């Protein structure tokens, strides 16, 4: 692998000077790298995914439809996609705030806070699920004060949303942070000089420039939440029709040795996520075009 990567490198030294006038690419070795890219993606992503789809082909169309559209499965789609959407929205707002503070201000312990953001990445999600449940259940540190007020956060859909917010946060912060860091202060100063209010500066100058990054962060947090299992399973309560997420339905089918049914539901989830990612990509492209010069 390293051979394939390093082979084109010697040529690159000469490239910048000659690339100016002609049609030569800056980085040579396009054929080689394209071949490598396709092979690698094929091995790691496409083959496993096509195995998934192939397995569902052992079902007839009617069986497939029955497996993916029973009322319990439909209820689980609503919960999984709904909770993931809410969690990703919350993460966009508060992730932006966190990124903002981390970029624009300095305070003691900032580096620790910065490192904390990555914790949900590093933690085994089951551990997160268990700790969240311990906090929010009726006898937990926080739950014991909320439950008498009629606020139940564990063992119902609220718990699902909270777990998904937890695991999705770093995606938004880490995509927005570098863009905020790069955004030029002069633009804001110029806006101020021309008499813009703070709100106008934010909505007309800053927001458009970070919009693509925010959308990317949203997409990643959303996609991650849809597939999440470990953290949710402990806090959800797992009641059919109420708080059963789709990955649990898949595990349930596997426990019944219904491989084909499990992959059928998984394929449906895959299609949903794929479409959603496409939509978000299109949004991003549109956004970039609209905000033109800024980036």
Partner 1 sequence: MKSAKLLFAALALAASGLASAQTQSLLNVSYDVAREFYKDVNAAFVPFYKKTTGKDVKIEQSHAGSSAQARAVADGLDADVVTMNTTTDIDFLADKGVVAKDWQKRFPHNAAPTTSTMLFLVRNGNPKGIKDWDDLVKPGVQVVVVNPKTGGNGRYAYLAAWGYVKKKGGTDAQAAEFVGKLYKNVPVLARGGRDATSAFLQRNTGDVLITFESEVESVNQEFGANKVDVVYPSISIVAENPVAVVERTVAKKGTADLAKAYLNFLYSDEGQEIAAKHYIRPTSEAVLKKYPKFKQIKLFTVQELFGSLAEAQKVHFNDGGQFDKIYTVK
Q: Which of 32, 119, 241, 279 binds partner 1 (CB under 8 A)?
A: 241
> At CA 203, angle to CA 84 and CA 102, rounded to 5?
65
Q: Is 208 left (phi over 0), alpha (psi -120 to 50) or beta?
A: alpha
* Least Å from the CB of residue 131 to partner 1: 12
Number of residues that bind partner 1 (CB under 8 A): 30
Q: Which of 35, 82, 178, 240 binds partner 1 (CB under 8 A)?
A: 240
Q: Which part of the chain contacts partner 1 (CB under 8 A), choosing from 9-17, 176-184, 208-216, 235-243?
A: 235-243
Token pair 């800053």: residue: 206
- 237 sits near partner 1 (criterion: CB under 8 A): yes
- What value does the CA radius of gyration of the chain take, rounded to a whole number of Å? 24
Nearer to partner 1, 225 or 233 (CB): 233
- 160 sits near partner 1 (criterion: CB under 8 A): no
* Contacts with partner 1, 102-141, as mask; x by CB under 8 A: -------------------------------xx--xxxx-
Token pair 């937990």: residue: 140
- 230 sits near partner 1 (criterion: CB under 8 A): no
Helical ranges in the chain per DSSP H: 2-6, 9-12, 15-19, 30-41, 47-56, 61-69, 71-104, 110-117, 119-122, 125-136, 143-146, 157-182, 185-193, 198-200, 207-227, 230-235, 246-255, 259-290
* Coil, helix or strand at residue 183: coil
- 77 sits near partner 1 (criterion: CB under 8 A): no
- 23 sits near partner 1 (criterion: CB under 8 A): no
Calpha distance 288→172 (Å, rounded)? 18
* Least Å from the CB of residue 82 to partner 1: 18
Q: Which residues contact 242 (CB under 8 A, 6 or more apart)?
A: 75, 79, 156, 157
* Least Å from the CB of residue 165 to partner 1: 21
Nearer to partner 1, 74 or 285 (CB): 74
* Contacts with partner 1, 29-68, as mask; x by CB under 8 A: -------------------------------------xx-
- 254 sits near partner 1 (criterion: CB under 8 A): yes
* Coil, helix or strand at residue 139: coil
Q: Which of 33, 70, 131, 273 binds partner 1 (CB under 8 A)?
A: 70
Q: Is 275 left (phi over 0), alpha (psi -120 to 50) or beta?
A: alpha
Residues that bind partner 1 (CB under 8 A): 66-67, 70-72, 133-134, 137-140, 154-155, 233-234, 237-241, 248, 251-258, 261
């Amino acid at each position: 692998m390293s051979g394939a990567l390093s082979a084109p490198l010697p040529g690159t030294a000469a490239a910048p000077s000659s690339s100016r006038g002609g049609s030569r690419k800056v980085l040579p070795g396009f054929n080689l790298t394209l071949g490598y890219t396709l092979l690698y993606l094929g091995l790691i992503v496409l083959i496993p995914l096509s195995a998934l789809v192939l397995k569902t082909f052992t079902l007839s169309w009617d069986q497939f439809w029955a497996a993916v559209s029973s009322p319990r499965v439909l209820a689980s789609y609503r919960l999984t996609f709904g909770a993931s959407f809410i969690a990703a929205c919350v993460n966009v707002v508060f992730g932006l705030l966190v990124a903002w503070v981390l970029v624009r201000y300095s305070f003691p312990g900032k580096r620790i806070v910065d490192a904390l953001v990555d914790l949900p990445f590093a933690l085994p999600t089951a551990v997160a699920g268990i700790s969240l449940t311990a906090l929010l259940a009726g006898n937990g540190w926080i739950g014991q004060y909320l439950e008498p007020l009629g606020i139940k956060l564990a063992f119902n859909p609220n718990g699902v949303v909270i777990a998904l917010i937890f695991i999705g946060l770093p995606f938004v912060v880490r995509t927005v942070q570098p863009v905020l860091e790069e955004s030029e202060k002069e633009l804001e100063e110029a806006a101020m000089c021309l008499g813009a209010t703070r709100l106008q500066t934010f909505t007309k100058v800053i927001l458009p420039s970070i919009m693509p990054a925010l959308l990317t962060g949203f997409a990643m947090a959303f996609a991650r939440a849809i597939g999440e299992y470990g953290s949710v399973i402990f806090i959800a309560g797992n009641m059919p029709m109420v708080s059963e997420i789709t990955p649990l339905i898949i595990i349930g089918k596997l426990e019944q040795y219904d491989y084909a049914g499990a992959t059928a539901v998984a394929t449906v989830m895959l299609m949903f996520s794929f479409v959603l990612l496409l939509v978000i990509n299109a949004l991003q492209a549109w956004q970039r075009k609209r905000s033109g010069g800024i980036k």
